[in-house]
Structure 1
Amino acid sequence: MVSFSLAAFVALAASFVSAAVPNSPRFDLSKPSYDLFRNKPLHDDTVQQGFAFDNTNRRLFVSQRRNGATETSGDLCITQLDFSGKYLGHMHLTGFGHGVSFGAQADGSATYLWAEVDANKNGYGQRLARFKFVNGATVSKSSTTLKKYKTVAAATEHTCAVDTVNNRLVVRYNTATDGKRIAVYDLAAATRGDFSAPLVDFKQPLPKTEGKNFQGYTAYGRYLYLLWGDSYDASGGVLNSQVATVDMNTGKVVQGPVITRAGSTLKFREPEGMAIYRTAAGQVRLFMGFASGDPGDRRSNLFYKNATVS
């Protein structure tokens, strides 16, 4: 018979907290990817970091480090594009974070963004903020228009994504004792500032990345999707971008790592961001982003998968 101390039992229980995410289809990562657009300029000319869809108002937003900003300042530019990649507007954020992942939420005809804020010395946000996208505006981390949240008291860093189909806020947070973890909340409750009842909260099972950079995540229904890899410049021309699927009810990888060849012919080609979008016709798509182009003229590229399995 195996016996556990009380401390060991508490530690084991704390490693996975679950109220269970309802079942859903999952994307088949082995199936082909399709272009939304390639080589589109953003407002600033740096590498894109992440992107998000407002599924209700049919809007697309892309994050990047602001021109002239240091890598640790947390100064970001959010560009709004249409779905052909045409520039529609931008917003500047000062002292927010890295921009690897953020979310968009419709509120009537307006779009509110969820993003990391209060960049630490490494340039990553210590909290989350919710704020209205206003074309041409510059918002500082100290702005009174921000609603700030620390979803987990012990967390040192926060980023997020929005499951736009199921209206859930997906938070990736870091703790000093347990590393990167994932928590999922009802979006309406999160908007009220209520983070007391996560559907799941588990340690991220990041597959072996062999030194490759983590580049994004998103969730649809029961499943979390992870993206990592390097630019051709960093990898010596080797295509090493990979994706994986995690069952959030178990915290286990259920598909992957799978090499993704989306945009394989792009120049530079660095994987940058993931998001979920449901078309007006009802097709749900898993999007992956890539940066391309030359220094001082980086471009945005979005690709998607739409094949699912039950």
Structure 2
Amino acid sequence: MLLLNFATIVAAAVSLVSAAVPNSPRFDLTKPSYDLFRSKPLHDDTVQQGFAFDNKNRRLFVSQRRNGASAASGDLTITQLDFKGKKLGHMYLKGFGHGVSFGAQGVGSATYLWTEVDANSKGYGKRLARFKFVNGATRTKSSSSLQKFAPVAAGKEHTCAVDTVNNRLVVRYHTSAGKRIAVFDLAAATKGDFSNPLADFKQPLPKTKAKNFQGYTAYGRYLYLLWGDSYDVSKELNSQVATVDMNTGKVVQGPVITRAGSTLSFREAEGMAIYKTAAGQVRLFLGFASGKPGDRRSNLMEK
């Protein structure tokens, strides 16, 4: 009886430790999505991979593999767009990673990007980097202007997203046991302090119609996941989204088929992000690539 009571107390303590992300509203993934823009060219003509909003300065950035670079090189192009999809600038990153997810942090009038860096032999970044977006600039993985971090010592690969509403850094990292998610206070992470994660759990792997994982983001207590194959790979629309409670690590909705951008050519799901409008409305964005080889286009839809 004493052992049972002790086990119950321990279980309750563990639950309290893991339930450190404050409660928040949750998007209903069955609701329709609406276009922000369609078929906009990026700086390079490859498929977009991810995107991020600087909520403070009202900026949008999209990642893609640099023209002519191999998939394993980790060479990326970051394009800055306005909210109508007009190109405002770009930046080149050499040896960084795949670009599936990254974050943007407004500091005064500047935007600092959080990306993967130090691409391994498969083209995925081993650590994270934080650096100022500078239009027209090129940064290599060894540039002195980078802050580099390994948020989780056991992590062999790291990517990230920023919850721009709640100022949290969400890190997806790879271990020998699979993918995990950790959540950190953004201000602490900026100082290199990753000692007190709000959550750290194994990424759930629900059964999905699509083969390819295509992005993630977080708002408050909830993590949003995206899968999808292009029409070149799957003749049927198979993009799906799911919601995970980061305090339990469990799926609470989905995977749900999303028909956002269903009429696009090629249509490959590519990236997720959160944005809060000046009027205070929080929106969940889904990204899709479209177009022909040599002329891929960017498409963003919102809930």
TM-score, with structure 2 as normaliser: 0.94
Corresponding residue number in structure 1 for 2:7: none
Report if the CA contact (8 A) 2:210-2:238 is conserved.
no
- In the aligned structure 2, how far is the partner of 1:80 from the partner of 1:184? 26
Deviations 1:213-235 (A, max 9, x none): 00000000000000001000011
1:272: how far off? 0.1
- In the aligned structure 2, how far is the partner of 1:14 from the partner of 1:294? 50
The sequence identity of aligned pairs, in percent, is: 83
Which runs of structure 2 are paired with 1:5-24 in the superposition (5 Å)?
A: 18-24=18-24
1:93 corresponds to 2:93: yes
RMSD over aligned Cα atoms: 1.8
- In the aligned structure 2, how far is the partner of 1:300 from the partner of 1:113? 20
1:252 corresponds to 2:226: no
Q: Which amino acid aligns with 2:216?
A: Y
- In the aligned structure 1, how far is the partner of 2:166 from the partner of 2:187? 11
Structure 2 CA distance for partners of 1:138 and 1:254, relative to 1, 3 Å: same
Which runs of structure 2 are paired with 1:1-80 in the superposition (5 Å)?
A: 18-80=18-80
Which SS does the other structure have where 1:233 is aligned? Answer: coil
Corresponding residue number in structure 2 for 1:116: 116
TM-score, with structure 1 as normaliser: 0.92
Q: Which amino acid aligns with 2:78?
A: I
Corresponding residue number in structure 2 for 1:212: 211
Report if the CA contact (8 A) 2:209-2:238 is conserved.
no
Structure 2 CA distance for partners of 1:14 and 1:179, relative to 1, 3 Å: farther
Corresponding residue number in structure 2 for 1:7: none
Corresponding residue number in structure 2 for 1:304: 302
The alignment covers a number of residue pairs equal to 295
User: Which stretch of structure 1 is more off in the superposition, 39-48 or 205-214?
Assistant: 205-214
Structure 2 CA distance for partners of 1:300 and 1:74, relative to 1, 3 Å: same
Corresponding residue number in structure 1 for 2:198: 199
Q: Which amino acid aligns with 1:146?
A: L
Report if the CA contact (8 A) 1:39-1:293 is conserved.
yes
1:233 corresponds to 2:219: no
Q: Which amino acid aligns with 1:224?
A: L
- In the aligned structure 1, how far is the partner of 2:93 from the partner of 2:276? 27
- In the aligned structure 1, how far is the partner of 2:119 from the partner of 2:178? 18
Which SS does the other structure have where 1:27 is aligned? Answer: coil
- In the aligned structure 1, how far is the partner of 2:242 from the partner of 2:184? 22
Report if the CA contact (8 A) 2:209-2:239 is conserved.
no
Corresponding residue number in structure 2 for 1:262: 260
- In the aligned structure 2, how far is the partner of 1:75 from the partner of 1:18? 36
1:14: how far off? 9.5
Corresponding residue number in structure 2 for 1:280: 278
Q: Which amino acid aligns with 2:254?
A: G
Q: Which amino acid aligns with 2:239?
A: S
Deviations 1:94-144 (A, max 9, x none): 000000000000010000000000000010000000000000000000101
* Unpaired runs of at least 5, structure 2: 5-9
- In the aligned structure 2, how far is the partner of 1:199 from the partner of 1:160? 15
- In the aligned structure 1, how far is the partner of 2:208 from the partner of 2:32? 22
Report if the CA contact (8 A) 1:268-1:292 is conserved.
yes
Corresponding residue number in structure 2 for 1:182: 181
Which SS does the other structure have where 1:190 is aligned? Answer: helix
Which SS does the other structure have where 2:232 is aligned? Answer: helix
Which SS does the other structure have where 2:83 is aligned? Answer: coil
- In the aligned structure 1, how far is the partner of 2:78 from the partner of 2:210? 28
Report if the CA contact (8 A) 1:16-1:200 is conserved.
no
Structure 2 CA distance for partners of 1:210 and 1:240, relative to 1, 3 Å: closer
- In the aligned structure 2, how far is the partner of 1:17 from the partner of 1:234? 42
- In the aligned structure 2, how far is the partner of 1:270 from the partner of 1:294? 12
Report if the CA contact (8 A) 1:49-1:100 is conserved.
yes
Report if the CA contact (8 A) 1:16-1:202 is conserved.
no
- In the aligned structure 2, how far is the partner of 1:209 from the partner of 1:94? 33
- In the aligned structure 2, how far is the partner of 1:226 from the partner of 1:244? 5
User: Which stretch of structure 1 is more off in the superposition, 199-208 or 93-102?
Assistant: 199-208
- In the aligned structure 1, how far is the partner of 2:205 from the partner of 2:82? 33
1:16: how far off? 11
Q: Which amino acid aligns with 1:293?
A: G
Report if the CA contact (8 A) 1:51-1:102 is conserved.
yes
